[in-house]
Structure 1
Amino acid sequence: MFRIVVQEKRAFAGEPPSSGAPLPQANKALSTIDPPPARLTSLQLREVSAQWRLRSDIDPQTASRVADVLDWLAAKREAHPPARSAAHQLRASLSQWMGF
């Protein structure tokens, strides 16, 4: 009984099994996954939205909903420009204050 407890602790602690069996190899397919696509700008999102509205191969209501969401996301990105660093914000506010 004590031996079983010790073996369970070894397996739980992440130690290799005492049988000397090799560990399974990592899945090769995971290393060949393509990186995610680049983030679309608001203009590109609006173009994709227009393409969705013109699609005839799916339900028009579904295409309209997808296009509405893409338009919403484009508007949200236009309203919130990318964040600037604190140093850049400080330079801009000082320049504005000094009249440059």
Structure 2
Amino acid sequence: MSMSRIGNPYDNAKAERFMRTLKEEEVDGQAYRDIDDATTRIGELIEVVYNRQRLHSALDYLSPDAYETSLMQLRQKTPTQIHNKENCY
């Protein structure tokens, strides 16, 4: 099943890459006690590692949190520059 929006084939690649990372870094080889344990541990990986620490090439090798912070700072300084930067992704 495709995970992309209609007419945008690039979304699926991003979703597939995320699923690969999730499987490689958390799920493979893990034995979860129950669904609640799996939900908690996978959620922690996404929030703590993937969003705060892991660098992403599509975000100029920044973590999503760092990228959001830099975007907010840039938005306060020059709204035109931020518009151009948002449109290139």
Q: If the length of structure 2 is used for normalisation, what is the TM-score? A: 0.26
Larger radius of gyration: 1
Q: If the length of structure 1 is used for normalisation, what is the TM-score? A: 0.24
Structure with greater helix percent: 2
Q: Which has the higher contact order (CA 8 A, sep 6+)?
A: 1
